[in-house]
Amino acid sequence: MNLFVSAIQWILDPANWVPGSQSPLPIQDRLAEHLLYTFVSVLIAAVIALPLGFYIGHTGKGRQFVISFTGAMRALPTLGVLFFLTMVLGYSMVSTTANFVGTMIALVLLAIPSILAGAYAGLESVDRQTIDSARASGMTEMQILTKVEIPLSLPLIIGGLRAGVLQVIATVVIASYVGLGGLGRIIASGIGLNDYDRILGGAILITALALLIDGVFAVIQRLTATPGVGSTRQTEKQSLRRRAPGPSTTVGTPLQERES
């Protein structure tokens, strides 16, 4: 408990927020770098994964590919991929550029599976009768995708982005292993100095940032949900249960029973 209190005091110490402080401070600079790496990598991953997920979800083609691809990508060791890429790129780029590009590629590979799965699952969740009605009314496939499927599946699409962002925020710490910034530098410097207040302080900052971003995405998911859509299928199931006939039983009258 005392260590936790000391870490909070370290975070709240104004000296750790003063511009021009020694590396890896000030905290706000490392926080800005952490957010920059997260934003760039998630943006690139979204540009790649969302169109692919929309295509698969709309056409129904490549379902097995999504399952295999996302499973394989999630099994990749991000730190191993990072070191491999920085070593390969280091032969053709300046070390700093190679480190940045390698880190971005590793983080993009980490974010793609969640975003791809969210986009695909979101479009798959849209009621087929709604899509058939839109098609019967004369809407083109692109209009069905942009005006029906994507708006109705926004909560799940955002859920995929939410999972990807949280994974990247937690993993940007590895950028410090190749000399880049981010909150991971605070933890790395604390390990080198055996400064447990700094180590735990950096971990608390990363956790607080992840919880804050998660809360923002949770609010966005709630705001983008179409009222009544989420409970439509459950309502239909309950209606079918009420309409379904019970087991047929033949109950004889007392007279019939005496005659038998």
Q: What is the mean pLDDT of the chain?
A: 83
- 127-157 pLDDT tens trace: 889 888 998 988 988 999 989 999 999 999 9
* Cα separation, 84 vs 87, whole angstroms: 5
CA distances, 103 to each of 106, 139, 186 (Å):
5, 43, 18
Residue with tokens 């003063």: 18
State how far the Cα of 139 lies from the Cα of 131, in Å rounded to an integer: 10
Q: With contact defined as beta carbons under 8 Å apart, do 9 and 72 qualify?
A: no
Task: With a cut of 70, say whether residue 213 has pLDDT above it.
Answer: yes
Q: Structural domains in the chain? A: 2-246 (1.10.3720.10)
pLDDT > 90: percent of the chain? 43
Q: Would you call 83 exposed, middle or buried from its count of C-beta atoms within 10 A (0-12, 13-18, 19+)?
A: middle
What's residue 86's pLDDT? 80
Q: Alpha-carbon distance 62 to 207, whole Å?
A: 36
Structure confidence at residue 48 as a pLDDT band (50, 70, 90): very high
Contact (CB, 8 A) for 111 and 103:
no
